[in-house]
Structures are given as C-alpha cells and as structure tokens.
Amino acid sequence: MTFFRENDAISGKQARAIATIGGRVEELFYAKTIEATIEKNKVDVPVLGRTNTPQRSAGWKGSGTLTVYYVTSVFRQLMRDFVKTGKDFWFDLQIINEDPTSGTGKQTAMLLKCNLDSVIAAKFDATSDDMMDEEMPFTFSDYDLPDLFNSISGA
C-alpha cells in the first residue's frame, strides 16, 4: 500500500507572487493570500428520450481574491487613475509554489489580464491589535501553467 509522504505537502509560506502592471514588475512580498478559481459556464442540452437534462461546457470565467497587508498604494493609485480618467487597467499575476522540502518541485500559475473589482480607498482600526490588511477581488480572462508539479510516488 502506498501512502502520501508528509514532506511532499506544499507549504504556502514558500510561495511567491509577482504582478506585472503596465510593463512594471511588482514583487508582492506583502501578500498574505491569493486564491483564484476557474468556473465553467454550462448550458443545458435537453435530449429526446432522456429524463435527465445533460449539460455541456460553453465557456469559463476566472475570478479570485488577493489579500495583502495594507502597506502599498499601488492598487489604490491604479483605481484612482480609473476614477479620474475612466481608463481601465489590467495586469498579470504570477504565482509560484515551490517548497524545497517537497519532491513535487515547482508550479507556476499565470493569471492573465487581471482586473480589480474593488480596492479599499482608505482604512484604519484603532480598536484592533491585528495588522491591517485588504482584500481585493478580481477577475482574469486568460490562464497558463508554464511550470507543473512533478509526479510524486508516495512511500
């Protein structure tokens, strides 16, 4: 019987994230979490003689949330420019998972043509001992995996 080796589990603390905004590379060392999801759009395909309604994929949409410590004005500036000019902005996110303890190696996910849904315009909380952070929901319209995890064999 084969078992999963605990040292092959990936620590999220070993990840890196990089944003490319208008040709400028911004290392997101102040990021706390990111989670991006691809959801299929499905349509019903009624079939004569069947009592169920099968479905077929008809596209997809990508969305996610980036949570960062409240220590950068980069995204607020982009949103301010949008407010002032009406000119929207897009950027790419590169997420690299690589834990040197794991035999799985490295995976790089590219979230392309990201567009922020909202940013916090201003914030403070004098009642909390927690460090301030901000959650930024976004959408993306392309996706790639230039580096894939290695297959693992177990023990």
Confidence at 154, pLDDT banded by 50, 70, 90: confident
Can you give the pTM of this predicted structure?
Answer: 0.91
Asked whether residue 140 is domain-assigned, the answer is yes
Query: Of 41, 67, 64, whose CA–CA distance to 111 is shortest?
Result: 64
**Mean pLDDT value across residues 81-103:** 96
Q: What's the whole-number average pLDDT of the chain?
A: 96
Q: How high is the pLDDT of residue 67?
A: 98
Asked whether residue 152 is domain-assigned, the answer is no
Assign residue 34 the CATH number of its domain.
Answer: 2.30.110.40
Please write the tens of the pLDDT for every residue from 2-35. Answer: 899 999 999 999 999 999 999 999 999 999 999 9
Asked whether residue 28 is domain-assigned, the answer is yes
Share of the chain above pLDDT 70, in %: 100
Strands (E), 1-155: 16-21, 24-27, 31-44, 55-69, 91-98, 106-116, 133-140, 142-147
Backbone angle region of 128, left / alpha / beta, with phi > 0 → left and psi within -120 to 50 → alpha: beta
Asked whether residue 35 is domain-assigned, the answer is yes
Asked whether residue 153 is domain-assigned, the answer is no
State the residue range of the domain holding 84: 7-44+54-147
Q: Does residue 49 surpass a pLDDT of 80?
A: yes
Asked whether residue 105 is domain-assigned, the answer is yes
**Mean pLDDT value across residues 110-129:** 97
Asked whether residue 1 is domain-assigned, the answer is no
**Mean pLDDT value across residues 95-104:** 94
**Phi/psi of residue 139, nearest 5 degrees:** -120, 160
- Residue 23: both structure tokens together: 């040709």
Asked whether residue 13 is domain-assigned, the answer is yes
Number of domains in the chain: 1
Q: How high is the pLDDT of residue 89?
A: 97
